[in-house]
Amino acid sequence: MAADTAILVDEATKVFTLRYHKTFKQMTVAMMRGQDLTNTFTAVDNVSLEIKQGESVGLMGLNGSGKSTLLKLINGTMRPDKGTVLTRGRIAGLIATGAGFHPQLSGRENIYLNAAIMGMSEKETARRYDEIVDFADIGKFLEAPVGTYSSGMYARLGFSVAVHVDSDIFLADEVLAVGDKPFKKKCLDKMEEIRQSGVTIVYVSHAAGSVARMCERVIVLEQGKLGFDGEAMDGIRYVKYDDDLPVDALSAGDGELGADI
Ligand SMILES: Nc1ncnc2c1ncn2[C@@H]1O[C@H](COP(=O)(O)OP(=O)(O)OP(=O)(O)O)[C@@H](O)[C@H]1O
């Protein structure tokens, strides 16, 4: 891997096995009828790409095209069945809202837990604790078990921890999908700051405006395969999400337009 490479995905494939029947009885009936008990599904299909340090890449594609699975291969929570995925440096980010949270622990306790999962020491977390709490801005709910949180509050806390981890690679999966408008803006501003500090960013989003603002390059997945890899605006045109919007207007916008799509 070249010295300036942050992420190297080489012919990576991830296959899931789908089980149709949950109980023994259902399985027996299905077997007697000669039906298939399982089926496989290729979520990431022979994908190769290289992302350089400091690049900010938008990962786009329809629902189910394999974006989150590819991020999980990059952050190491899943292994490819074929091919290799190499990364350089500490990875932070928010992949699934609330992943790594323990529902019975309070927001405060989960900040420490989540930060530890992302590789922060207790001392490091304590130093950044006030900033994390300020950014999440969930008030008195900080002491409540996170199992009682709304999905927006989960996202606020998770994103807040993620952006305060010192990382080399920041992975963001639909972080803006559940937040309200002021929080979306705050997240985009923070990601811009992270980007400008030289961190490599992979940003999964359907929001063309925020991708146009945040990324110079776009990768599009189509049914698990690499459909497009190139200039951000060309990628946005390629996915054609915004047939009713003038694509060129997006790059001039402040990103809020896209965040609302
Ligand atoms: N653990 C799993 N077991 C079985 N199938 C899975 C699993 N995780 C993902 N899949 C399947 O893989 C496909 C790709 O899912 P993935 O979440 O990567 O898509 P995505 O592009 O991120 O979609 P979205 O835009 O909806 O978030 C989907 O069809 C999904 O059902």
Ordered by where they begin, the domains of the chain are: 5-89+168-259 (3.40.50.300)
What is the reported pLDDT for 255?
43
With 50 as the cut, is the pLDDT of residue 252 above it? Answer: no
Q: How confident is the model at residue 248 (pLDDT cuts 50, 70, 90)?
A: low
In this structure, is the dihedral angle defined by the CA atoms of residues 178, 65, 203 and 95, taken in order, positive or negative? positive
Residue 77, ligand 1, Cβ within 6 A: no
Q: How confident is the model at residue 201 (pLDDT cuts 50, 70, 90)?
A: very high
The values of phi and psi at residue 47, to 5°, are -95, 130
With 80 as the cut, is the pLDDT of residue 176 above it? Answer: no
Instruction: Name the one residue in this structure whose structure tokens are 């920041």.
Output: 170
Q: How confident is the model at residue 159 (pLDDT cuts 50, 70, 90)?
A: confident
Q: How many CB atoms lie within 10 A of CB 20?
A: 12
Are 58 and 209 in contact by the 8 Å Cβ rule? The answer is no
**% of the chain surpassing 70 pLDDT:** 88
What is the reported pLDDT for 207?
87
What is the reported pLDDT for 243?
59
Residue 63, ligand 1, Cβ within 6 A: yes
Nearest C-alpha neighbor of 241 from the set 58, 49, 7: 58
Residue 64, ligand 1, Cβ within 6 A: yes
Average pLDDT over residues 107-130: 91
Considering only residues 254 and 85, tell me which one the structure prediction assigns the higher pLDDT: 85
Considering only residues 86 and 40, tell me which one the structure prediction assigns the higher pLDDT: 86
Residue with the nearest Cα to atom 30 of ligand 1? 64
Q: Which residues pair with 47 in a beta bridge?
A: 12
Residue with the nearest Cα to atom 8 of ligand 1? 69
Mean pLDDT of the chain: 86
The values of phi and psi at residue 170, to 5°, are -115, 120
Q: What is the pLDDT of residues 181-199, one digit of tens each?
A: 888 888 889 999 999 999 9
Q: Give the pTM.
A: 0.84
Residue 205, ligand 1, Cβ within 6 A: no
Per DSSP, helices labelled H in 59-140 are 67-75, 107-117, 122-136
State both tokens at 33: 């009828």
What is the reported pLDDT for 171?
92
Average pLDDT over residues 89-117: 84
Q: Which of 142-146, 171-175, 200-204 has the lowest mean pLDDT?
A: 171-175
Residue 20, ligand 1, Cβ within 6 A: no
Helical (H) or strand (E) element with 246: none
The values of phi and psi at residue 24, to 5°, are -60, -40
Q: Exposed (0-12), middle (13-18) or buried (19+): which is 232, by Cβ within 10 Å?
A: buried
| Whether the complex's predicted ipTM surpasses the cut of 0.85 | yes
